[in-house]
Structures are given as structure tokens and as C-alpha cells.
Chain A
Amino acid sequence: MVYLDYAGTVPMLPEVIEIMHNAERDFFANASALHTPGHRAMNEVEKTRKLLAKLIGADPEEIIFTSGASEANNTVIRTFEGYEIETSPLEHHSIIEVAKQYRGNKKPKLYSYMLANNETGDILELPKIDRTKFDDSPLLTALNEWGKPLVTDRRKEYLHSDLTQVLGKMPINVKVLGVDYATFSAHKIGGPIGVGALYVKKGVPFKPLIIGGNQEQKRRGGTYNTVGIIGFGKALEVMSVRKSWDVYDNVIRNLRDTLAERILTEVSGSSLNTELARGKSLPNILNVSFLASEGESIQLYLDAEGVVVSTGSACASGDIRPSHVLMAKTGNAEVAHSSVRFSFGPENTMEDVKRVMEVLPRIINLLQNISTIKMEKK
């Protein structure tokens, strides 16, 4: 199998599987408990917290573990329930749909802009927010309902960035980025599905999404997912030892760019939805549209040949609308329906690129020839 859906999920690293397997036995206890096995489990949770904090330039107490990126995103948006919320049109549904439902017109205002998009890989410029102090408004205290941490950093505007796709692909420093909140997910770096983290800058507004437990300093109720968090920690460790961002920038970029070049020369009616230039996109994502061919059909014909990709076509998602990201970027539903995302990871080789090119031109040629959409004669 040629797996090219790393942006969807990265297969768990063998080191992660092993450590989690052992942790099921060694760190089974409730990490909130004060007895020895509980405390041992808590030490492991804190180890991951420190490591993540160090890797993103934060303090450990600024990290909250969640069930994944969607929960982290929901938490930030719900903190600003009833307040002004501006999102980029390229955000994940766990931002866009929540903001649509909960935004209001009170100030301060929240901006939510992802640094890199999951479908096209495009890198976005984060908005410059107004950091001038906010009046002594009582509104801000209302933003902290449970546990009531003080809002000491009173500003007119706050900034959240979903860094789910960025982790491991580029070095991250939340201070340099100037974000107040940031979202992370373990399964995008070879950790387990079901674990994520939210960076919350000290002193900014925060309202827990899950109430009823004292975990995470009353910021996220629920028994600690010790085993999952240990797996996340191992994935972070491997990432930092291998300096995965260098591997992505050099080795993986070369695979991605080679595939892009070959597709453009060898497959008629192909056009890129990803800007390849360094700094314009993540080095591992390539989004391509194929004229007169529909994405789900391409995906499944490729699957039948053992090549695994994803698509922004509506049909594949069970929705009637194609990808909102490609619609925002291209404004063309046909282009969005016809899009396929190839996303590379550390396991891929040039052989995988060759294999794709052995089967892709034939598949596109068939689909274009049986399509109702006529190809323009070149």
C-alpha cells in the first residue's frame, strides 16, 4: 500500500505503540489519585506536558490536554460565546460551525486563524491584533465561570491559531507567533487518536467546555487519558530527536514537488491547488484538481490500485457541498469536486511517487473519456 493521507492521520509510530502497550499495565491508575500508582501516572502526564510546552515555547501550566483538536477548538470558541468572533474562511469545521452558532457582538473580540490549512497545505498570515488594554469591563470576568482564573491580560482582541497540521512540520514558538490560544493533535505526528492539547496563554480569558472535575486546574474535567498522553509524549520526543521539521523541509518536500511536477507534465487537465514555493505551504501537502474527473472516483480507483489519498469532493464526505476550503480558494465548485489531496509523511519514498504515476494517468484518462465534461483540445 502507498499511504498518502498523512494529513488525515499519521500511522502510530512503533515506539508509541510499545510505550502505550506497557503504560496500560504500568500506569493504569487514576492520575488524580494521591496514592502511589496515581501519582506515578500523574508524573507521566506532567512529563508530556513539559515536553510539549518546551517544544512550543510555552510554560507547562499553559497546556491543557483534551480529547483532540476539535475539543480544543470548541473550547476556545465557546469561551467567547456571545462575543465577536472572526475566523478565516479556511478554518476546520470545529471552528467555523461553532463560531457560526455562538458568536455575538460583545467585545473583546476573538480571531481564529489557522497557520496552515489541512486541505491545501497553504500557510496563512495570522492577523495583527490590537493589543492595547481593554477598559475595566465586567464582561471579562464573565468569561471565567468555573474555577474563575483571573483575567490579568485584558485586551481588546485575542488570537487563536489551530496548529494541528503545523506541529512537527515547522518549528513552533507561540510567543513568536503572538497567539493567545493554540490547538494541537497527537495523531498528526504519529501519536494516538483521541488526544490533543490546547495552549492557553497565562491571564487570558478561559471558560472550560467540560465542567465537573478539578483536572487540568479546573480547566477541563474528566479523568486523565494517561495512556494516550504518554503516547503523545513519545511521539513528541521522536519528533524532537529526529528534528522532523528538517526531514519534512528537505526529504518530504522533494517527494511532494516531484509528484507535482510529474502530474503537471503527464496528466492532462491537471492544476495545482497548493502553492509549492517555500514558505507558502507545508512541505508535505499537494492538492490537485483534475478537469472532468470527480474526486471520489479518483480516490477509489487509486484505492483499488493500493494508493491511499483523500478528496475535497462533496460525495466523499456525505455532504452535498464540496470542500469549503477549495470553494474559498478557487470559487469554483467543479474544481473543488475534482480535487485530490496527496499528503506525505516520513515513511514515503520516491518509489511511492513512481507508483502513483504508474496508475494515476490511466485513471484520469478513463474518467475524462467517460465524462460528460468535454476536455479542451490541446
Chain B
Amino acid sequence: MEEQDWVYSDVVKDHFLNPRNYLMGDESKFDYDAVGLVGNPICGDQMRMYIKVVGGVITDVRWKTYGCASAIASTSALSELAKGKTLDEALKIDAKMIDDYLGKLPKHKFHCSVLGHDALRDAIEKYRTKK
């Protein structure tokens, strides 16, 4: 197989081709405490973040994404960034941190596809309201 030559960095490519922590199929398969949502399929990108919280720490994360390669890769990267963080630390994760982690996305991709952190914030807020 020829090596792919894409507009994306190797890290983005890796997270797209081998996404981490995704939730396959029915969401009941993951025992989560809260779920957050961002985006809209009409715009081409939508993400859900599912969090498991123990003692104020996100011990496990799963996600679902409808979207392009950078949407999938950035949600996968976010899931790695969020795992093991306290809720307050996780709230500080922003688009720039995800972009840095991925080794920079193409500019025109950054604004439309790095949205997952808002889904994570939504999940954290819902978790805190529930308590």
C-alpha cells in the first residue's frame, strides 16, 4: 500500500485511522455519569462526549462523532486529554490545546471541526447539575 499523502499531520492521521476511546454502537454499552453534545449534522459536524466521574476525576471517557477526518481525530485527541483530569482541569481544555496536541490542523479545518471541548463542558455541567 502506498503511504497516504494528506493535508493532515501524522498525529491527526493516526487519531483518524486509529481513533481512541470511541463508543461503538449502542451508548448503553458504556456506564457513564453524564453526556454532552455539540454541533449539528446540518453543519457537517456533531459530537457527544460521555464521562465517567469518580471523586471529581474523569476516570473514563467515550465519544461519538459525525464529521470529517479532523472532527474524528480532534474528538479522539480530546478523549486522551480529558482522561485522568479533575473536572476543573477538564473545563480548561480548549480548541488550542487540542490543536497543539494534534500538531496543528489546517486553518480552514480548525474552526469547523474542533468542537469536542464544548461537548465535554456540556457533560461536566450536566454532571454538576445532576449532583
Contacts and interface: CB of A to CB of B under 8 A. Distances in A.
Given A294-B67, A315-B45, A333-B41, 16 more contacts: A292-B66, A294-B44, A294-B71, A296-B68, A297-B68, A297-B72, A301-B17, A316-B68, A320-B43, A322-B44, A333-B44, A334-B41, A337-B44, A371-B66, A372-B48, A373-B41
A312 to B, nearest CB: 11
A314 interface: yes
Of B19, B24, B41, B71, chain A has the most CB atoms within 10 Å of the CB of B41
Contacts of B74: none
A1 B2 contact: yes
A315 to B, nearest CB: 3
A373 B46 contact: yes
Interface stretch (B53-61, B93-101, B106-114, B122-130): B106-114
Interface residues of B, number: 35
Interface string A295-333: 111001101111000000111101010100000000001
30 contacts: A1-B2, A294-B45, A294-B68, A295-B68, A297-B16, A297-B68, A297-B69, A297-B71, A300-B4, A301-B17, A303-B4, A303-B6, A304-B17, A306-B1, A306-B2, A314-B44, A314-B112, A315-B68, A315-B71, A315-B113, A333-B41, A334-B42, A370-B22, A370-B63, A372-B39, A372-B41, A372-B47, A372-B65, A372-B66, A373-B66
Nearest to A333: B42
A294 B112 CA distance: 14
Interface of A: 1, 292-297, 300-301, 303-306, 313-316, 318, 320, 322, 333-334, 337, 369-373
A58 B43 CA distance: 46
Nearest to B6: A300
A292 B65 CA distance: 10
Contacts of B39: 372
A305 B17 CA distance: 11
B108 A297 contact: no
Nearest to A1: B2
B64 interface: yes
B66 A304 contact: no
Contacts of A316: 68
A306 B5 CA distance: 11
A294 B42 contact: no
A295 B63 CA distance: 19
Contacts of B23: 370
Nearest to B17: A304
A293 B66 CA distance: 6
B43 A371 contact: no
B78 interface: no
Contact of A300 (B43, B46, B66, B69): B69
Contacts of B112: 314-315, 320
